[in-house]
Amino acid sequence: MSRINRQVRLAARPVEEPRPTDWEHVEEPTGQPGDGEFLVQVLCLSIDPAMRGWMNAGRSYIRRWRSAR
């Protein structure tokens, strides 16, 4: 059975109110998990109002996460 990874990506930084053209909807097949990895199905997603500020260009008060890889 093929599983689909549905994504909503930021296509352009919104000016004033976000518009449908600021988003890109993508569907692609999920990959197979590798050694030490697992696949998660997300059933519910919460959108925080602070995320609106994170879409703006420039520095953020949030520290960037760095991969251990």
The rounded distance, in Å, linking the Cα atoms of 41 and 9 is 18
pLDDT per position as a tens digit, 34-46: 999 999 988 998 8
Q: pLDDT tens, 2-26?
A: 789 999 998 998 888 889 999 999 9
Pick from 57, 42, 45: nearest CA to 4:
42
Helices (H), ranges, 1-69: 51-54
> The whole model's pTM is what?
0.62
